[in-house]
């Protein structure tokens, strides 16, 4: 083994064993919402003129709303499977 490999392994072990969060921070909540035949523009927070989604609008306003993303498939079932596995 050369020195770069040994150094890489040691750095990985050191940074992997160091706790990354303090005990005082609350845990992060992650919410995935999947629905069949539901596009990005079908929410009122994304500009749909007729559909009213006040609770999802509040979640989007108080949390992180992703605008650039990639999915495993254009339909819901394979995308759900990709997230769960």
Q: What is the pLDDT of residue 21?
A: 61
Helix, strand, coil percentages, rounded to 5, for the chain:
45, 0, 55
pTM for the whole structure? 0.53
What would the pLDDT profile of 48-80 be if each residue is shown by its tens digit?
A: 889 888 998 998 899 888 777 777 777 777 877
The 8-class DSSP code of residue 25 comes to: S
pLDDT of residue 27: 78
In contact, 23 and 16? CB cutoff 8 Å: no
| pLDDT value, residue 84 | 78
Q: What is the mean pLDDT of residues 21-28?
A: 72
């Amino acid at each position: 083994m050369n020195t770069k490999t040994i150094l890489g392994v040691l750095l990985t072990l050191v940074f992997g064993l160091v706790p990354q969060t303090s005990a005082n921070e609350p845990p992060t909540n992650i919410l995935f919402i999947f629905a069949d035949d539901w596009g990005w523009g079908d929410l009122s927070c994304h500009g749909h003129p007729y559909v009213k989604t006040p609770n999802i609008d509040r979640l989007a306003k108080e949390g992180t709303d992703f605008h650039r993303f990639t999915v495993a498939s254009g339909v819901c079932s394979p995308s759900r499977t990709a997230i769960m596995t």
